[in-house]
Chains A and B, each alone.
Chain A
């Protein structure tokens, strides 16, 4: 059996093909950017953030990057003029507070809040928003997210050139996921510790007192 034949087998995974050539989306935290391949959040992919409780800094971690996406002006991409893109919040646990979003630099006129009734509607909405190509980022808070669903979100994000961020409980750590990046946030006495569990094209790392 020749080497080419072996490589054609879809079960053979090659690390080099996974390393994105696209540059990452600067997170606003240089320490974190250094750990991430491409120097920032993986664009056009699913990022999972595991948190024990709401409010330990999960939004603060994202805000600089979201603000940059929100401030994106109309751009010309592939010879086509595109409108500035939106940020969708799918089933947030509390109300995102408009004045605070504005203070963080998010353009309120391009924020969409979706409140689906159950998890299947949530995943459907998130998938629609991701694959539509009109949302720069989609934040979602699913009750549960199995391997298949995360795979679908990952594909939708690639299709719509969108950044998906799923917030999940700490118990999801043991589950497998198709996400390109998985972070775990824990609060310690020094601040919030960010633990990079999975890092496609990079290495796992622990960042103490990032926030």
Chain B
């Protein structure tokens, strides 16, 4: 986060009324800018890198071979906002109506402008830009700002950094105008004016800005027109106007903007923070049911997921894929891992196991990948392996990996570890553990010296009795040992009072049976000694 600028004029940043404005803002004389109004934050040298994505509406659309034009509803008529190079070569210009454009080029693909999509693209780019700076800001609909003073050394100087950013943007299919200046607004205006400049010293800022035409300002068209009517063509002309009159006519906000651009007023920005949970969609142009293709899409999503976590040094234990269909509700596929991980390969391995058994009710139109809570990644030190062969053959993967593969295929409820519970009631003396949670070794040892059966029935089974003796499969059981009386559990609803015996049937199978002492004295089979 940027250090708050302690400036005595911060109060002016609040939106003032026009009458108050006159008192606060001193009237300008021609040489106003020679002596700064306020204390400029010269202690912290800042450098703002502005990326203006002028063709964002066009580039936010998925690329295809056809000629493409973006249309926007203007006063009830669909007009062309932007056209790609193929369409422009056919004579399609911004401002044309959609019908005129189609008349010129019948094969033209028309897309409605989607601000939501543009915002998503902008956020994705901001996330991507976080690798270059700790401070990335989204300014408006098509402008990204990076504070790069702190990044110059790491990226080997300004020109290197600029080249890396521009190459990265180019590889993602974006054309951008870039400019660098000590204030964010100046950088924005320079970029919008198409000046590929880099102004590092604040004293060079004024002269450079003065020359800029008013077109590069993001001011309402009416104001720009009336300024043009007054013979004001550049920012320099604006600055020569009396400040009071300027504020009255065009609003104090415009004047403040000029001051901020010149660095006379602080211009704090919001830092973009990418969400800590990953969520990405992949939309297809038509329904698909080919599992190879779907797996490939999932792999792409996992790759960007890995990139996302890599930037944050995080890992996650849970993932959820949603496959959207046109009619049916989305099919969900959840994956779990024994420890936090981000590696695309491991997740893809698990996904493949699950995907084999996944039944999709319909073809898929979109895939979404959401990650669970991310947690700091515990990096493992890779071992130096001198004897590569023996190590690899001996142990292919750890027990955690085995457990997560099993869970991925047959479900979390079906893979368990065992642990002991300090409890005298036989059915509560143990419990299952989730294999994906921490493998906590139970330190508890059984205190019963009397032998317990290896097999336990899920529920005690009622045994028929013949004159008080229990029968098993029609023949009388011989009691070998017992009774062992267990009378406990009064503190909850499940209290027991039983006499346990070891019995043997005529086939020589030893059974663990008990006689209930509460209510009716029935015999039950509870375990088999195995």
Contact = CB atoms under 8 A, between A and B. Distances in A.
Contacts of B441: 109
A133 B458 CA distance: 31
B293 interface: no
Interface in A48-74: 53-60, 63
A192 interface: yes
A112 B445 contact: no
Q: Most chain-B CB neighbours within 10 Å: which of A60, A99, A124, A191?
A: A99
Contact of A78 (B394, B397, B399, B527): B394
B494 to A, nearest CB: 17
Q: Most chain-A CB neighbours within 10 Å: which of B411, B432, B509?
A: B509
Interface string A58-101: 11100100000000000001111011001000001111111111
A40 to B, nearest CB: 21
Contacts of B398: 83, 134
B406 A114 contact: yes
B395 A82 contact: yes
Given A57-B530, A116-B414, A161-B394, A98 B430 contact: yes
Given A99-B430, A161-B394, A56 B418 contact: no
B454 A79 contact: no
Interface string B381-395: 000001100110011
Task: Return the 8 tightest CB-CB contacts between A and B, nearest first.
Answer: A98-B430, A59-B530, A109-B441, A55-B528, A100-B452, A78-B390, A187-B508, A97-B456
Given A98-B419, A112-B399, 11 more contacts: A55-B528, A59-B530, A94-B527, A108-B420, A109-B441, A111-B418, A113-B416, A116-B414, A128-B402, A133-B396, A133-B397
Interface in B453-477: 453-458
Contacts of A116: 410, 414
B507 interface: yes
Contact of B454 (A97, A110, A132): A97
Given A94-B458, A95-B456, A117-B414, A134 B420 contact: no
A103 B530 contact: no
B182 interface: no
Given A80-B390, A112-B416, A117 B507 contact: no
Interface string B499-510: 000000001111
Given A97-B527, A99-B429, A131-B396, A191 B418 contact: no
A135 B415 CA distance: 14
Interface of A: 53-60, 63, 77-80, 82-83, 86, 92-104, 108-117, 121, 124-125, 128-129, 131-135, 160-161, 187-189, 191-192
B64 interface: no
B406 A128 contact: yes
Contacts of A60: 454, 529-530
9 contacts: A94-B457, A94-B528, A97-B426, A98-B430, A99-B448, A108-B442, A109-B417, A109-B441, A125-B406
A112 B403 contact: yes
Q: Most chain-A CB neighbours within 10 Å: which of B406, B413, B417, B441?
A: B406
Contact of A114 (B414, B442, B456, B529): B414
Contact of A112 (B410, B417, B451): B417
A99 B452 contact: yes
B409 interface: yes
A147 to B, nearest CB: 24
Nearest to A104: B454
A128 B430 contact: no
Given A80-B395, A102-B446, A133-B396, A94 B456 contact: yes
Given A133-B395, A161-B394, A112 B415 contact: yes
B409 A125 contact: yes
Given A129-B402, A132-B396, A114 B410 contact: yes
A68 B510 CA distance: 24
Contact of A96 (B387, B406, B455): B455
B515 interface: no
